[in-house]
Amino acid sequence: MVKIRQAIVVEGKYDKNTLSQIVDTAIFTTDGFGGMTDKTFLAFLRSVVETRGLIVLTDSDGAGFVIRNHLKSALPKEGVLHAYIPDIHGKEKRKTAPGKEGKLGVEGMSREVLLQVLANAGAQFEDTEAVELTEPITKADFYELGLTGHPDSKAKRLLLLKKLNFPEHMSANAMLEALNVLYGRKRFFEEIL
C-alpha cells in the first residue's frame, strides 16, 4: 500500500474500491454526474483542496471528461492535480459487456498503471515512516458521541453534517473519513464539538 498526501476524487464506488487496494489516502466519489449539481459536495471538495490537495482521476471516456471539466471549473486551480488513465480497450471483469466507448475505466486499470498516472500527475508519495501520524477519529468515537449505534444517531450526524457544510447524504463511514482528512482527532474534539 502506497501512502499519498493528496486525497483523490473518482467517479464511482468500483473506482474507489480498486484504488483503495493500492493507495492509502482519502478517496471520494462523485457518484457519476450526481456530485456535479451538489453545491455542498463541491464546497466540501474545495475544503479538501485547501487542506491537503486533491487529485481528479476519472475515466478516459466522454462522460469522464465531462465530470473532469466540471470539476476543473468548480474547484480552484491551485491544489488540484489531474491524473489521466490511458485509452485501453476492453471491459471490466464485473461487466458483461464493454462500456459505450469500449474503454477500460479506472476500475479496470492495473496497479502499475494507476501508480504511474498518479506519479505523472504530481502525486506526493509519502514515506510512511517519515509521516507525522495524527491520531484519527475512530468508529468507537462516533459511537461514544452518539453518531452511530443509537436510535437518534442519524439525526445527530445530519446536524453535524449541516454544521460543517458537508453533503447531507454522506454515510457515517464517509463522514468519518472526511473528518479525518480535514480535522483529525485533536482538532475535531477541540474545535468542532
DSSP letter for each residue of 22-90: TEES-EEE-TTTGGGS-HHHHHHHHHHHHHH-EEEEE-SSHHHHHHHHHHHHHS-STTEEEEE----B-
| Collapsed DSSP state (helix, strand, coil) of residue 189 | helix
Q: How high is the pLDDT of residue 121?
A: 94
**9 three-state secondary structure:** strand
Q: Is the confidence at residue 177, as pLDDT, over 90?
A: no
Lowest-pLDDT range of 23-27, 33-37, 63-67, 154-158: 33-37
* Of 6-20, 22-36, 123-137, minimum mean pLDDT range: 123-137
Over the stretch 73-118, which tens digit does the pLDDT of each residue have? 999 999 999 999 998 888 888 888 878 888 999 999 999 999 999 9
Fold of 2-126: Dna Topoisomerase Vi A Subunit; Chain: A, domain 2 (3.40.1360)
Query: For the whole model, what pTM was predicted?
Result: 0.81
153: pLDDT strictly greater than 90: yes
Q: What is the pLDDT of residue 157?
A: 96
Average pLDDT over residues 177-189: 88
Domain boundaries, the chain: 2-126, 139-192
Edge-first strand order for the sheet with 54-58 is 27-29, 7-10, 54-58, 80-84
Q: Please, what is the average pLDDT of the chain?
A: 90
Rounded CA-CA distance 67/58 in Å is: 7
Burial of 44 (0-12, 13-18, 19+ CB in 10 A): buried
